[in-house]
Amino acid sequence: MSRSATAAIHLGALRGNFARARELAEGAKVMAVVKADAYGHGLERCARALGGADAFGVASIADGLRLRAAGHPQRVVVLSGPDAASDLAEMRRLQLEAVIHHESQLAMLEAERGGNPLKVWLKLDTGMHRLGFPAERAAELHARLAALPSVDSAIVLMTHFASSDELDSDRTARQTQRFFDATKSLPGERSLANSAALLGWPRARGDWIRVGGLLYGLSPNAGKTGADFGFRPAMTLTTRLVAINRIARGEHVGYGAAWRCPEDMAIGVAAIGYGDGYPRSAGVGTPVLVGDAPAQVVGRVSMDLLTLDLRRAPSATVGDVVTLWGPQLPAEVVAGHANTISYELTCGVTRRVLFTEDGA
């Protein structure tokens, strides 16, 4: 069976989302976060559409290499920094910037002898407790970095929020205050806000915002879609119906006989499954569109196929387009049924899906 699963990437939506982020940034510089192959949308195509970014944020030197090979001259920040001393030379060769968040990385820099000044971002832990130096050490660490001839003097200070999507919590306000208190005597630009903080915490904008999910039209906030904040989905995932079967009342559908037909009914079979990145955790009732008509998942998601209740799509025929998520069916809605987040859905689309792009 030939695969018909297609992910259409909407370059116009990417450009529009970037313009919206730039507007909300109110003068702060914008780092476009393109890690995880641009949240599953394709690094090179997205970087091309996001060419107005002041910097790109990546998770690895390999992604920085891809950006440089594609001709992008912007600042590129490796958000986890170097893993080994040999990484420093490669970062300099590619003119990448390093987030320094751990004593072992600082030791690598202090052990160097020579080398062109490397641009660094000093990451402080203000309450996320994942990566970063204790905030109270900010002045000491800044002084150690500034004393190194192999480090550029324009050190950027940064932190990361744990709960910036929770507007009814004071945790982000406390993290923000802790960061400003720790860095108030230090020179340099500041970077605090991620996508959720851009939407909900104006005081945390600083000099740089680091925006990821919103660029792809994905909401960082539970119960909301990107469209609720003026952002458009940048991916539409579709496939086609490959079969429609009449199944009698009381018969079971799919692996494990986990779902039983409540009446005589049409069951559609769509050519997509967890081998394509559609989540196996998507439960009964997860919505899809068959043409423009609503339908829903029944039975278990299998590796290659998805079974659908077509009672609300009585005109469906074999070959019809099935939309799994996109502008008319937000990924956030699908993610809610799969007990995950929209970021995981788009990041999980696999290589056997055909990617296309358009300017709309």
The full set of domains in the chain, from first to last, is: 11-218 (3.20.20.10), 235-358 (2.40.37.10)
Q: How far does the chain reach from its first CA to its final CA, in angstroms? A: 30
pLDDT band at residue 2, thresholds of 50, 70 and 90?
A: low
pLDDT band at residue 1, thresholds of 50, 70 and 90?
A: very low
Mean pLDDT, the chain, whole residue set = 97
State the catalytic residues.
35, 255
Indicate whether 254 pLDDT > 70. yes
**Number of alpha helices (DSSP H) and beta strands (DSSP E) in the chain:** 11, 19
Indicate whether 262 pLDDT > 80. yes
- Region of 127 on the Ramachandran plot (φ > 0 left; ψ -120 to 50 alpha; else beta): left
Please give the Cα distance from 154 to 119 (Å, whole number): 7
Digit-coded pLDDT (tens) for 162-207: 999 999 999 999 999 999 999 999 999 999 999 999 999 999 999 9
Digit-coded pLDDT (tens) for 106-133: 999 999 988 899 999 999 999 999 999 9
What's the pTM? 0.96
Task: State the Rg of the chain over Cα.
Answer: 23
Please give the Cα distance from 323 to 184 (Å, whole number): 50
Task: Report the SS3 class of residue 168.
Answer: coil
